[in-house]
Amino acid sequence: MTVEPFIRLSGVSKTYRRGRQQHLAISDATFDVMPGELVSLVGPSGCGKSTLLKILAGLHPHDGGEVRIGSSTHAFDPARDIGMVFQAPLLLKWRRILDNVLLPAELLGLPMAQAKSRARELLALVGLSGYEDKYPYELSGGMQQRAAIARSLVHDPKLVLMDEPFGALDALTREKMNLELLRIWKEAGKTIMFVTHGISEAVFLGSRVVVFTAGPARMADNFLIDLPHPRTLDLKTHEQFGVYTRRIYKLLGMD
């Protein structure tokens, strides 16, 4: 039985207009994402990666090409079926952690008893059991970001969009969060699109990597990452890991 792509992008383009000026942000993005993949979008800052996430989220229209999410048998509702994680956790400082995680469920009008049960399960999944009644300022940056990941999953979305979620963290915390994300992805079974400008991070996390070049954003490559799971940090010394990273460096003119 052939598995249908969960996301299909075909010739997608996006142009921003500022007065009389036009800026082509994305040019001819074409690739598929299969159900349950963790796809890394990598490229230099300003190359249109975040714009592409906003198009997938329904926050920006695209100017050309076709975007299809979902399948012929399962309808897709962006408001209900997408979870988002940004570079900053964006937790509401006056709400306790459990209440922050519950916010999407409240906005969607989901049954609160079930939502609270799921929120507690997710906080356990991200290693925050016992922190439900804490306020954001009482948590470290990494812990706040884990709470943001739990919040993105509480309404059981089909797709999670992550826009450089670990970019503001220190190097050690970032590596720990990479490992945490892979564990959560495996346990939650979600399709994830992960934007980063870190080449090593893109290869370490991705089951697939899509490489964008700048000026305007053009999809330069799209390839599977054939590395074993569970992934550990010593995988970065693996010969094939180096092959993948050098491939991206070359595409970005950094070899």
pLDDT tens per residue across span 156-184: 999 999 999 998 888 888 898 899 999 99
Give the separation between CA 89 and CA 229, rounded to whole angstroms: 27
Rounded mean pLDDT of 183-188?
91
pLDDT at 131 over 70: yes
Give the separation between CA 107 and CA 64, rounded to whole angstroms: 32
User: Which among 162, 186, 166 has a CA at the least distance from the CA of 175?
Assistant: 166
Beta carbons within 8 Å of 66's beta carbon, 6+ residues apart: 8, 9, 10, 11, 12
In the chain, the domains with their CATH numbers are 1-76+158-255 (3.40.50.300), 91-157 (no CATH)
Cis peptide bond N-terminal to 230, omega within 30: yes
User: Which among 31, 32, 29 has a CA at the least distance from the CA of 5?
Assistant: 32
pLDDT at 255 over 90: no
Per-residue pLDDT band at 22 (split at 50, 70, 90):
confident
**Which of 119 and 28 is assigned the larger pLDDT?**
119
Which pLDDT belongs to residue 215?
64
Rounded mean pLDDT of 95-120?
96
Strand partners, 26: 14, 217
**What count of other Cβ atoms lies within 10 Å of the Cβ of residue 111?**
9
Look up residue 224 and give its amino acid: L
Rounded mean pLDDT of 194-220?
89
Rounded mean pLDDT of 14-28?
82
pLDDT at 72 over 80: no
Average pLDDT over the chain reads: 90
Least confident of 152-156, 166-170, 238-242: 166-170
Q: Which of 18-22, 199-203, 227-231 has the highest mean pLDDT?
A: 199-203
Which pLDDT belongs to residue 216?
65
Rounded mean pLDDT of 84-98?
94
Per-residue pLDDT band at 101 (split at 50, 70, 90):
very high
Per-residue pLDDT band at 73 (split at 50, 70, 90):
low
Rounded mean pLDDT of 13-35?
86
Which pLDDT belongs to residue 134?
97
Give the separation between CA 191 and CA 37, rounded to whole angstroms: 5
Enter the tokens of residue 55. Answer: 């198009």
Which pLDDT belongs to residue 152?
94
